[in-house]
């Protein structure tokens, strides 16, 4: 194995079908891609799927590295943006791979942020009833969260990620060096998911993210790599126990019921991390209102998220009733009613009677009104 890969921080994710896959975290791993693909996902050809922005920054460079290592690879792109994570993009990319002659001996390499991971993974999950995929995240959101766990899918008018499949990757290759090309505002989006991991699972990590936020935003390599490593460890622990979100994995949706509703109501102009930031605060305040969440928890969340340069108040003009009306479209909805992950306190979710809970509409409306 390439010396860069040999020194990578490796976290194993267990799966029932394939036995699992490693998540490798280390700066410089992109240069070891030929060796990593040969070890974990040997294939006749590789389809590198990426968006138009990442293609310009990293696509051709990766093709060059793969060609230099003797791997056959072609680039397939789609327009950047959450609004393009739709069935039309999936259909077009699938048709392009088929027209190019990709067969079951092929492999998809999803190079990019969470949108690319979801869309590229869904192409791999459905092409010829499933071909291998390798996740190569290039955003902090994708490294700490989206690339780990095997979820793939696309959005519809009814809501986010409502059509998709569980399709575990053969390997996740997280090179924090990719994060150097991101503006601070994009790194902040990833910090929202890191804060979430601490809030639901590890109070010490929650405090560590607050302390390291300035370094991450400034592009400090060691700070970014430390956050990626710990978040991957925490998420891997959860998804290894509950691969298909039948129980414990529901915790990872903290902040996402209202976060996804806010995203959709904004027409996806509100970035995912910002939406989750607001969703966590709102859901913590709702938990406090009904006596499930320790008083002051939402304020601690708000302070930490503010230190990460994330929003803590709703955008001007937000229609609380319209946001509430979108919550039943969340994929956690049961019997037509949305469900929410609530905290007991920072570092521990409320698991009383299950990991998700119903909230009265009037409570949700009240916290939305207060946050405007």
Choosing from 260, 300, 326, 332, which is the catalytic residue? 260
Catalytic residue, chosen from 85, 229, 256, 357, is: 256
Number of helices (H) and strands (E), helices first, in the chain? Answer: 15, 11
- In angstroms, the CA 8 to CA 5 distance is 5
Residue 303 binned pLDDT confidence (cut-offs 50, 70, 90): very high
What is the structure's pLDDT at 17?
73
Q: Is 129 marked active-site?
A: yes
Question: Are the CB atoms for 179 and 58 separated by under 8 Å?
Answer: no
Inform me whether the pLDDT recorded for 372 exceeds 90.
Answer: no
Closest to 23 in 3D by CA, of 203, 222, 172: 172
Q: Is 27 helix (H, G, I), strand (E, B) or coil?
A: coil
Q: Give the whole-angstrom CA distance, residue 109 versus residue 120.
A: 8
- H-run or E-run covering 88: helix 87-99
The model's pLDDT over 48-71, given as tens digits with 9 standing for 90+, comes to 999 999 999 999 999 999 999 999
186 catalytic per annotation: no
**Whether 303 is catalytic:** no
3-class state of residue 204 by DSSP: helix
Catalytic residue among 229, 253, 289, 332: 253
pLDDT tens digits for range 171-200? 999 999 999 999 999 999 999 999 999 999
The fraction of the chain above a pLDDT of 90, given in percent, is 90
The model's pLDDT over 92-101, given as tens digits with 9 standing for 90+, comes to: 999 999 999 9
Per the document, the length of the chain is: 372
As a whole number of Å, the CA-based R_g of the chain is 20
Contact 289, 371 (CB under 8 A): no
Q: Is 260 a catalytic residue?
A: yes
- 245 labelled catalytic: yes
Q: What average pLDDT score do residues 236-240 get?
A: 95
Catalytic choice (30, 160, 235, 326): 235
| pLDDT (0 to 100) of residue 6 | 74
Please name every residue paired with 107 in a beta bridge, in sequence order, or none if there are none.
46
The larger pLDDT score, comparing residue 32 to residue 333, is at: 32
| Residue-averaged pLDDT of the chain | 95
Catalytic one of 31, 85, 187, 193: 193
**Is-catalytic flag, 235?**
yes
Domains observed in the chain: 3-181 (3.40.50.1970), 184-370 (1.20.1090.10)
Active site residue 151: yes
Kindly name the residue from 249, 289, 300, 332 that is annotated as catalytic: 249
Query: What single-letter DSSP state applies at residue 309?
Result: T
**What is the three-class DSSP state of 154?**
strand
Q: Catalytic residue at 348?
A: no
Contact 224, 175 (CB under 8 A): no
Which residue among 225, 233, 243, 245 is the active-site one?
245
Hey, how many other C-beta atoms are within 10 angstroms of the C-beta on 165?
14
- What confidence tier does 301 reach under pLDDT thresholds 50, 70, 90? very high
Is the pLDDT at 3 greater than 70? The verdict is no
Q: Give me the sign of the Cα torsion angle 79, 257, 263, 163.
A: positive
| Residue found under tokens 């490693």 | 22
Q: What is the pLDDT of residues 320-329, one digit of tens each?
A: 999 999 998 7
Which of the following is catalytic: 151, 196, 229, 289? 151
Which tens digits make up the pLDDT trace of 85-144?
A: 999 999 999 999 999 999 999 999 999 999 999 999 999 999 999 999 999 999 999 999
């Amino acid at each position: 194995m390439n010396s860069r890969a040999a020194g990578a921080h490796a976290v194993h994710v267990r799966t029932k079908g394939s036995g699992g896959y490693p998540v490798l975290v280390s700066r410089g791993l992109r240069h070891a891609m030929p060796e990593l693909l040969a070890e974990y996902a040997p294939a006749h050809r590789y389809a590198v799927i990426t968006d138009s922005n990442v293609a310009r920054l990293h696509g051709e460079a990766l093709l060059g590295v793969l060609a230099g290592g003797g791997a056959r690879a072609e680039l397939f792109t789609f327009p950047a943006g959450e609004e393009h994570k739709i069935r039309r993009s999936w259909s077009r990319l699938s048709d392009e791979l088929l027209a190019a002659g990709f067969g079951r001996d092929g492999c998809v390499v999803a190079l990019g942020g969470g949108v690319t991971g979801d869309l590229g993974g869904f192409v791999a999950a459905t092409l010829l009833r499933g071909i291998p995929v390798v996740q190569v995240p290039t955003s902090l959101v994708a490294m700490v969260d989206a690339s780990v766990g095997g979820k793939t899918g696309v959005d519809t008018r009814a809501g986010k990620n409502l059509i998709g499949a569980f399709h575990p990757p053969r390997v996740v290759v997280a090179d924090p060096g990719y994060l150097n090309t991101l503006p601070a505002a994009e790194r902040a989006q990833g910090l929202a998911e890191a804060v979430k991991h601490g809030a639901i699972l590890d109070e010490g990590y929650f405090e560590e993210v607050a302390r390291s936020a300035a370094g991450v935003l400034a592009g400090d390599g060691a700070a970014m790599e430390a956050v990626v490593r710990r978040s991957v460890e925490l998420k891997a622990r959860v998804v290894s126990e509950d691969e298909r979100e039948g129980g414990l994995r529901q915790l990872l949706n903290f902040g996402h019921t209202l976060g996804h509703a806010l995203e959709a109501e904004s027409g996806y102009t509100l970035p995912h991390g910002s939406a989750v930031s607001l969703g966590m605060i709102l859901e913590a305040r709702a938990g406090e209102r009904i006596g499930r969440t320790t008083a002051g928890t939402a304020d601690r969340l708000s302070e930490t998220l503010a230190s990460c340069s994330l929003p803590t108040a709703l955008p001007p003009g937000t229609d609380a009733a319209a946001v509430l009306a979108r919550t039943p479209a969340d994929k956690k909805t049961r019997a037509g009613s949305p469900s929410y992950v609530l905290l007991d306190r920072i570092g521990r979710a409320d698991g009383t009677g299950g990991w998700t809970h119903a909230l009265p509409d009037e409570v949700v409306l009240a916290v939305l009104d207060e946050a405007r």
